[in-house]
Structure 1
Amino acid sequence: MKKVLGCVLLAAILVICLGMRGVVPVDVDQKADDTKVTMYAEDGRSEQFDPSEAEAQKSVGWYDNFNDVITTMWKDDGSSIVVFKADVSKYEKDGYTTNHDSIFSKVFNPATEEEKDVLKSEVQTYIDNGWKRGNGKVDPDKPMVCLTFDDGPNPATTTKLLKALEENNARATFFMLGNLVKNVKGGSDTINKMKDIGCELGSHTYDHTQLTKLGTDALKKQVQDTNDNINDIAGQGATVLRPPYGSYNDNVKSVCQSLDQPIILWSIDTLDWKTKNADTSFRNVMDQVKDGDIILFHDIYEPSVEAAIRLIPALQDAGYQLVTVSEMGEAKIGGLKPGEVYTDFWDSTVKKLTNSSSSSEKSSGSSDSEKSSGSSNNDKKSNSSNSDKGTSSSKSSD
């Protein structure tokens, strides 16, 4: 649509110049003079200067390209108008905006790979007819966040979440408990659906045991048994691991490295396990979200899934791509490393990660001492009844 609107740019300029002289002042010397350079001001004025003066005039607000002094503005009904930049604030008062993406959303047809920019009010109609949000690809130059879900699968709630993700061309990462993967009714279908729509299959250990309290053999079993169960269903094991309570130490890192598992923490804790309130969880995210966040949810709770279903289009409308952790790692730093700990992909973090050498990189600053995700990051323990609680090694929190 931007291209279409751009094609009518010259016609729109003519309309402005001829039909809106009372609104946009135009003072153009129509007499051609090859010895002069015509320059333009943001309020529509033009003046001719000697070529030797052109660069100096640019420093005081003149432009040698007419397109530099005009801009297209849109209204939420899709109508547009081309105005001089000096008049932008006046049209903003009438409901116009220069932000095209605040009015339109991109949708694509997975069957034909056709893409369109459509009014946000029309997006649902396209979704109902088989289209998806976005362009079907991860754009490394655009903001992105990861929705992550712990303690499942719980088909009663997870299935609703997967439906919303699929409808909105969004993906998430699911950190699952190995003892539920095979034992919960409907778990196989749920996991295969995750895989089919492009979500990431992650491990949250076999039974939510705090890994820092285990010896090496028991620790390996927690990870490997979970991977085996996921692999038996989906034909692939977990690609990432989230340790219960966010607790890890060098032994956990070493075992994860040997089993090809990056360690994923989080930067936004929704506290959904504590509040069990969809509105609160929704606001906890929207009030603080930024590019590179990893957001912690638990898909075993109905209010959590309700909040996530609301968040998916809200985050997309705010300009965020919803990607998996591995997709974000690939886009931001070229990929995740087994045994390394990732809490977020903020610009500051990415800079540190990309500037450090592979031999000395320590993304979390961990040492032989036990580590946890922090006092604000609480990870809910659950069994199949979703009722048990655990304690963090560094802080009793949930």
Structure 2
Amino acid sequence: MPSLTKKLPTRKMKNTGTGFRTAAIGAITALTLALTGCTTLETTAPSSERARTAAGAPARFGTVDCREARCIALTFDAGPSENSPRLLDILKREQVPATFFLLGRRHIDTYPELVRRMADEGHELASHTWDHRILTELGPDEIREELRRPNEEIRRLTGRTPTLMRPPQGRTDDTVHEICRELGLAEVLWSVTAKDYRTNDSALIRERVLEQASRDGIILLHDLYPGTVPAVPGIIKDLKERGYVFVTVPQLLAPGRAEPGKVYR
């Protein structure tokens, strides 16, 4: 099987409020990454990670084998929020697991009971940093602190330490990779975005996800925005009708396993 690893150019940029969002490059779906030519961002597709494992190996997570099934992963950034209980109710009713990239300040520390509920109901918990600071603009010690604090809180609340993180705005570089490797974290970006941070139109959010969805897709949504959670039932219904099976990010990579310091999309 040919490698699906993709390389994209990146650089550090100051946060100007609007200038760091760009259109998709080639076949990559629109990402909120600032892309130029300083360093090289190498990302690994789920199928490439699965292919690294010997043929015939059992899937490591659950009963779904994404080497055979048409898998797709729902991921939610920057929660928990006041909308999370309704989202969790929907996911429970539909028997859909999700991966939550949780934010620390004003989220984990404000809704600890929702963090526990997410873990208890079988969802994958990961880090979206403590303060949502742009990691490529920080020094190494500041990056470590942004990544260390949410992991410690999630471990305290659930007994499990996250192994995945998502950098704010998808902005990452070699320093972030190295610190993630040091802390035992793999970075997870996305291949589908509804840009729900720009609209409260639930129908539009649903439409955007369905237009971009494909096998091994990683869908980026934010449950803190009011238009997102109402769009989720329709997204689930339509994708199930198309034959998709919902999995967490670790399930999507199985029987491979996310490697610290690597970037997955």
Q: Give TM-score scaled by structure 1 length.
A: 0.50
The correspondence for 1:338, drawn from 250, 260, 264, is: 260
Q: Which residue of 2 aligns with 1:139?
A: 65
For the pair 1:199 / 2:126, whether they are aligned, the reply is no
Q: Which runs of 5+ in 2 are unaligned?
A: 1-61
Q: Which residue of 2 aligns with 1:293?
A: 217
Q: One-letter code of the match for 2:259?
A: K
Q: Which residue of 2 aligns with 1:317?
A: 241
Question: Separation in 1 of the partners of 2:223 and 2:142?
Answer: 27
Which stretches of structure 1, 4 residues or more, deviate above 2 A after TM superposition?
Answer: 180-183
For the pair 1:177 / 2:103, whether they are aligned, the reply is yes
1:182: Cα distance to partner?
4.0
- Give the 5 Å matches for 1:269-280: 269-280=193-204
Residue 227 of structure 2 aligns to a residue whose secondary structure is helix
The correspondence for 2:187, drawn from 260, 263, 266, is: 263
Checking the alignment, whether the CA contact within 8 Å between 2:108 and 2:115 is kept in structure 1 is no
Count of aligned residue pairs for this structure pair: 203
Deviation sequence 1:152-189 (CA, Å, 0-9, x none)? 110x21111111111111111111111134431xx122
Checking the alignment, whether the CA contact within 8 Å between 2:87 and 2:229 is kept in structure 1 is yes
Checking the alignment, whether the CA contact within 8 Å between 1:266 and 1:293 is kept in structure 2 is yes
The correspondence for 1:161, drawn from 72, 76, 87, is: 87
- Give the 5 Å matches for 1:68-217: 137-140=63-66, 141-154=68-81, 156-184=82-110, 187-217=111-141
Deviation sequence 1:251-287 (CA, Å, 0-9, x none)? 1000001111110101111111101210001000112
Q: One-letter code of the match for 1:325?
A: V
Question: Separation in 1 of the partners of 2:148 and 2:170?
Answer: 19
Question: Separation in 2 of the partners of 1:182 and 1:275?
Answer: 25
Checking the alignment, whether the CA contact within 8 Å between 1:200 and 1:239 is kept in structure 2 is no
Q: Which residue of 1 aligns with 2:170?
A: 246
Residue 275 of structure 1 aligns to a residue whose secondary structure is coil
1:239: Cα distance to partner?
2.3
Checking the alignment, whether the CA contact within 8 Å between 1:178 and 1:230 is kept in structure 2 is no
Deviation sequence 1:87-132 (CA, Å, 0-9, x none)? xxxxxxxxxxxxxxxxxxxxxxxxxxxxxxxxxxxxxxxxxxxxxx
Q: One-letter code of the match for 2:235?
A: L
Question: Separation in 2 of the partners of 1:320 and 1:211?
Answer: 34
Question: Separation in 1 of the partners of 2:188 and 2:132?
Answer: 15
- Ranked by relative contact order (alpha carbons within 8 Å, sequence separation 6 or more), the top structure is 2
Residue 219 of structure 1 aligns to a residue whose secondary structure is helix
Question: Separation in 2 of the partners of 1:242 and 1:286?
Answer: 22
Question: Separation in 2 of the partners of 1:258 and 1:249?
Answer: 14
Residue 202 of structure 1 aligns to a residue whose secondary structure is strand
1:301: Cα distance to partner?
1.4
The correspondence for 2:142, drawn from 212, 215, 218, is: 218
Residue 302 of structure 1 aligns to a residue whose secondary structure is coil
Q: One-letter code of the match for 1:249?
A: D
Question: Separation in 1 of the partners of 2:103 and 2:196?
Answer: 18
What is the percentage of aligned positions where both structures have the same residue?
35
Checking the alignment, whether the CA contact within 8 Å between 1:145 and 1:294 is kept in structure 2 is yes
Q: One-letter code of the match for 1:284?
A: R
Question: Separation in 2 of the partners of 1:172 and 1:239?
Answer: 15
Question: Separation in 1 of the partners of 2:262 and 2:94?
Answer: 31
Checking the alignment, whether the CA contact within 8 Å between 2:79 and 2:108 is kept in structure 1 is no
Deviation sequence 1:18-47 (CA, Å, 0-9, x none)? xxxxxxxxxxxxxxxxxxxxxxxxxxxxxx
Q: One-letter code of the match for 1:338?
A: P
Q: Give TM-score scaled by structure 2 length.
A: 0.74
Residue 145 of structure 1 aligns to a residue whose secondary structure is strand
Q: Which runs of 5+ in 1 are unaligned?
A: 1-135, 344-398
1:336: Cα distance to partner?
1.0
- Give the 5 Å matches for 1:378-389: none
Question: Separation in 2 of the partners of 1:312 and 1:188?
Answer: 26
Q: One-letter code of the match for 2:184?
A: D
Residue 146 of structure 1 aligns to a residue whose secondary structure is strand
1:302: Cα distance to partner?
2.2
Residue 113 of structure 2 aligns to a residue whose secondary structure is helix
